[in-house]
């Protein structure tokens, strides 16, 4: 069920209506769980079994890890959970990719046997919910989290429909306490919480949903044709056209993914749940590490806590730290999909982070540099950082390796030709206009949280302000809505 479909709108109104009418708390929670499974089943049919399997497995293992005193046994149980989760993820997401690589290798060595592809359907959301369940068992193993008190609660944490398909990747320590009356960090005690529709949550939630749809359907979907035009066949294009494509894709994916996240956070908020923030003005980042504190925050913090730190983080030698950064980002890239372009994208970001760290280590005085601390210094840092971020987006967008290399070369080594770029811009002035408007709106909202500002308006102004994006959403409604980019991951 796509968020940007009428099916979801009807489903969500029914769920909220039911939760609002039925006050019996236990029933509310069960209903929410059933609704979440329905949501998943509606789109993914029998693959709901995988979700239930993953939930059952980690619920049982989590309990056992908590009960077991023996450290060795705890470790074995954790490894079981990791094998189960990563095995599922690996099998469904990477099996055909691995077979392809094996077949290519076999061809090189003249082994005249090809392994047939499995052609498995990729279960929607598997990358997200497996990471959630892994964080659950690891946190229990580390003693940071008590297991969920009931299967129902754990199942709701895994399957909660607003974030099931494409995140944000929620930690059990953030979600489980919200199911109980007494909210204490890392605690899941207290009576089951009644779900009440609060004024402020409702208003902010609706604002977030509307703005999310607006970002996706007005901005991202209307910038997409421009991006497709450039990157479907970049050969022969001028440098400035490639740069335009990279910028356009950067904003398309931002509008698409942050739009989705806004809808997810808004929908959860209306139901009384707070999901973690996933984006914080990423294109104002002043360094690669700053970018990853602002872009897909729930993934980058997951990678930090469950991969980078276990690898040793920055506690070992400098060389090990740089290697850790590169390994983590390489795996982060691979997490996005079974394709080499994601690996290249991840590696590029790994190299950025490592090089940034090396520079910081070699020239510690840079941290205190007056120019870099000044306003103009920050602007320069933003431009330099974004130059590299947009370069990496080319790798993310173009699957074909040769085309990717061509586009990256054009991006790095400018040819200063403009004839075809001007022609291209004139041919696509409407899409470029929408891209420009999106960039301007991002600049305007740099200092203020626009969604909060709008939701704090008096009702009569709120009505009028929201009517504008809603009108545009309706005018740009497509009978065959475009999938969210991150639904594929």
Partner 1 sequence: MVKKIIFSIFISFIIAFTIFLGIIQIPEKNQEVIGQSNYLEIQEKFFSKDFEINEKKIFILGSSYIQALNTTQINSKIKSQCQSCQVYNLSIQGDSIDKRIKIIDSMIAVKPELIIYGISEGDFTHSKNSEFNTSNSILPNLQKIIDTEVNLSQYFEFIGIPPSPKDKTWNMIRQINKDESTNIRFNPFPNTPFLKILKANTVIISELELKSLRTNIQSLGSINEPEENKILKNLKQIIIDFQDKDIKIALFIVPHHDYVISAESLKFKKSFEIIKNELENTTQVNIYPRIESYSEMSIWHDLHHIAVNNKSLIYSDDIAEIILKELDR
Chain residues binding partner 1 by CB under 8 A are 1-2, 5-7, 20, 41-47, 121, 124, 197-199, 202-203, 206, 221, 225, 228-229, 232-233, 427-428, 430, 459, 462-464, 466-468, 470-471, 473-483, 487
300 alpha-carbon distance from chain centroid = 9
Q: Residue 151 or residue 477: which is nearer to partner 1 going by CB?
A: 477
Nearer to partner 1, 230 or 389 (CB): 230
Active site residues per annotation: 336
Nearer to partner 1, 252 or 381 (CB): 252
Q: Which is nearer to partner 1, 59 or 231 (CB)?
A: 231
Chain center to CA of 189: 30
Would you list the DSSP string of 181-217?
SS--TT---SSBPP----HHHHHHHHHHHHHHHIIII
Instruction: Please give the backbone phi and psi of residue 192, each rounded to the nearest 5 degrees, phi first.
Output: -60, 140
**CA-based end-to-end distance of the chain:** 16
Of 165, 160, 166, the closest CA to residue 174 belongs to 160
* CB contact burial 387-421 (16+ within 10 A = b; e otherwise): ebbbbbbbbbbbebeebbebbbebbeeeeeeeeeb
Least distance between partner 1 and beta carbon 449 (Å): 19
Residue from 178, 172, 180 nearest 147 by CA: 172
Closest contact distance (angstroms) between CB of 212 and partner 1 is 15
Distance in angstroms (rounded) separating the CA atoms of residues 330 and 347: 5
**Comparing C-alpha atoms, which of 95, 114, 97 is closest to residue 106?**
114
Encode 24-63: b = buried (16+ Cβ within 10 Å), e = exposed: ebeebbebbbebbbebbeebbeebbebbeebbebbbbbbb
30 contacts: CB under 8 Å, gap ≥ 6: 152
Q: How far apart are CA 283 and CA 301, in angstroms?
A: 18
- Block residue for tokens 């402020």: 200
If one counts every other C-beta atom within 10 angstroms of the C-beta of residue 262, the result is 24
- Minimum CB–partner distance for residue 225 and partner 1 (Å): 5
Would you say 228 or 289 has its CB closer to partner 1? 228
Q: How far is the CB of 9 from partner 1 (least distance, A)?
A: 11
* CB nearer partner 1, residue 1 or residue 344: 1
Instruction: Return the number of the residue (20 or 377) whose C-beta is nearest partner 1.
Output: 20
Dihedral in degrees, nearest 10, Cα atoms 483, 92, 35, 477: 10
């Amino acid at each position: 069920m796509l968020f940007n479909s009428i099916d979801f709108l009807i489903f969500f109104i029914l769920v909220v209506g039911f939760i609002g009418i039925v006050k019996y708390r236990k029933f509310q929670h069960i209903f929410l769980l059933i609704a979440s499974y329905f949501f998943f089943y509606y789109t993914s049919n029998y693959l709901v079994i995988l979700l239930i399997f993953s939930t059952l497995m980690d619920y049982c293992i989590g309990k056992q890890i908590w009960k077991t005193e023996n450290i060795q046994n705890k470790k074995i149980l954790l490894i079981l959970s990791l094998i189960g989760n990563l095995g599922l993820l690996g099998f469904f997401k990477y099996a055909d990719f691995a077979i392809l690589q094996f077949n290519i290798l076999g061809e090189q060595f003249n082994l005249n046997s090809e392994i047939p592809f499995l052609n498995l359907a990729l279960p929607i959301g598997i990358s997200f919910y497996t990471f959630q369940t892994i964080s659950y068992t690891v946190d229990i193993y580390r003693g940071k989290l008590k297991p969920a008190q009931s299967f129902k609660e754990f199942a709701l944490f895994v399957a909660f429909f607003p974030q099931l398909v494409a995140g944000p990747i929620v930690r059990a320590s953030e979600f489980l306490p919200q199911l109980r009356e007494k909210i204490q960090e890392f605690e899941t005690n207290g009576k089951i919480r009644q779900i009440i529709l609060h004024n402020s949550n409702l208003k902010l939630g609706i604002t977030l949903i509307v703005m999310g749809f607006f970002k996706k359907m007005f901005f991202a979907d209307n910038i997409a044709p421009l991006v497709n035009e450039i990157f479907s066949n970049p050969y022969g294009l001028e440098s400035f056209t490639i740069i335009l494509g990279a910028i356009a894709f950067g904003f398309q994916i931002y509008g698409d993914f942050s739009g989705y996240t806004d809808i997810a956070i808004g929908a959860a908020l209306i139901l009384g749940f707070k999901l973690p923030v996933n984006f914080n003005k990423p294109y104002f980042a002043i360094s690669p590490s700053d970018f990853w504190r602002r872009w897909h925050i729930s993934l980058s913090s997951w990678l930090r806590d469950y991969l980078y730190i276990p690898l040793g983080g920055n506690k070992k030698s400098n060389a090990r730290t740089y290697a850790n950064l590169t390994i983590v980002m390489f795996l982060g890239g691979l997490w996005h999909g079974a394709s080499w372009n994601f690996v290249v994208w991840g590696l590029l970001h790994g190299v950025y982070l490592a090089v940034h760290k090396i520079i910081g280590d070699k020239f510690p005085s840079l941290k205190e540099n007056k120019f870099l601390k000044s306003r103009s210094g920050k602007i320069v840092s933003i431009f330099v950082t974004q130059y590299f971020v947009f370069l990496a987006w080319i790798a993310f967008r173009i699957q074909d390796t040769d085309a990717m290399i061509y586009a990256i070369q054009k991006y790095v080594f400018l040819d200063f030709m403009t004839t075809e770029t001007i022609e291209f811009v004139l041919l696509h002035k409407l899409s470029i206009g929408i891209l420009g408007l999106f960039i301007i709106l991002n600049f305007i909202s740099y200092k203020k949280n626009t969604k909060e500002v709008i939701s704090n308006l008096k009702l009569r102004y709120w009505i009028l302000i929201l009517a504008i994006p809603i009108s545009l959403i309706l005018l740009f409604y497509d009978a065959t809505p475009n999938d969210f980019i991150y639904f594929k991951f």
